[in-house]
């Protein structure tokens, strides 16, 4: 699938800072919208919000389960969410009166593990699951607004487009990606070509390109 992409050549990376604090495998990372705060999730049962400039922990959130897989910042960075092998999405506020992270609610409705969560805005959340579906949630009502069905196997990752905020793309172990419209539950387009599970997907920040990664 990359046969027509020109070779970039050798790129040298330099470690700027080590963020130490988790005691087990780190399963998820997401930058905040300010490009300074970073959210991490780990199988030590913790979410950590980091100040990457100073290396300090801003929040350390204890989860009910250690089997967390995905996590996400809201666009305002006032909220975070996580999900994992317990089939439950946990939702927290980072703006409590005493300055600590506050558990607000759980979102239940998937029949399989939660692989990835992404905020659409501060009131709506997308999730994807081992039950082969994606879901759009009304967070305050703890209610699924739309379910997106079409994949034939576990849905491993989702990404929301910044250029087209009503669009998101999903990646699945059925070896395909699918493009969806948040205003309806019908898939708009599907993309095939990988030979094994598609594990990751994201949009390019400044246009409508999407990229996927696979076990092939």
Which tens digit of pLDDT belongs to each residue from 44-57?
999 999 999 999 99
164 belongs to a structural domain: yes
Taking only the tens place, the pLDDT of each residue in 142-185 is: 999 999 999 999 999 999 988 888 999 999 999 999 999 999 88
128 belongs to a structural domain: yes
How many residues belong to the chain?
A: 216
82 belongs to a structural domain: yes
Taking only the tens place, the pLDDT of each residue in 100-137 is: 899 999 999 999 999 999 999 999 999 999 999 999 99
42 belongs to a structural domain: no
CB-based contact 212:173 (threshold 8 Å) = no
Report the candidate in 104, 100, 18, 17 with the shortest Cα–Cα distance to residue 59. 100
22 belongs to a structural domain: no
Higher pLDDT, 104 or 6: 104
CA distance 46 to 203: 27
How many other CB atoms are found less than 10 A from the CB of residue 140? Answer: 12
CATH number at residue 154: 2.130.10.10
- Cα separations in angstroms, 105 against 81, 97, 115, 142: 10, 17, 19, 8
How many domains, in total, are found in the chain? 1
68 belongs to a structural domain: no
Pure H helices in 90-177:
none
70 belongs to a structural domain: no
203 belongs to a structural domain: yes
Residue 129 lies in domain: 76-214
CB-based contact 117:129 (threshold 8 Å) = no
């Amino acid at each position: 699938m990359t046969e027509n992409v020109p070779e970039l050549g050798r790129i040298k990376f330099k470690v700027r800072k080590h963020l130490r604090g988790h005691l087990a495998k780190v399963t998820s990372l997401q930058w905040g919208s300010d490009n300074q705060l970073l959210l991490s999730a780990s199988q030590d049962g913790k979410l950590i919000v980091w100040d990457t400039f100073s290396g300090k922990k801003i929040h350390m959130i204890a989860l009910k389960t250690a089997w967390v897989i995905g996590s996400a910042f809201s666009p305002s960075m006032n909220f975070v969410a996580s999900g994992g092998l317990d089939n439950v999405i946990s939702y927290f506020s980072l703006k409590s009166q005493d300055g600590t992270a506050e558990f607000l609610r759980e979102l239940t409705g998937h029949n399989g593990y939660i692989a990835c969560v992404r905020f659409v805005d501060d009131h709506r959340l997308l999730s994807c699951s081992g039950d082969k579906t994606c879901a759009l949630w009304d967070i305050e009502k703890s209610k699924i607004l739309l379910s997106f069905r079409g994949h034939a196997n576990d849905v491993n990752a989702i990404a929301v487009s910044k250029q087209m905020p009503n669009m998101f793309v999903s990646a699945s172990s059925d070896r395909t990606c699918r493009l969806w419209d948040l205003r309806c539950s019908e898939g708009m387009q599907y993309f095939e070509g990988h030979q094994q599970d598609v594990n990751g997907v994201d949009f390019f920040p400044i246009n409508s390109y999407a990229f996927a990664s696979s076990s092939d």
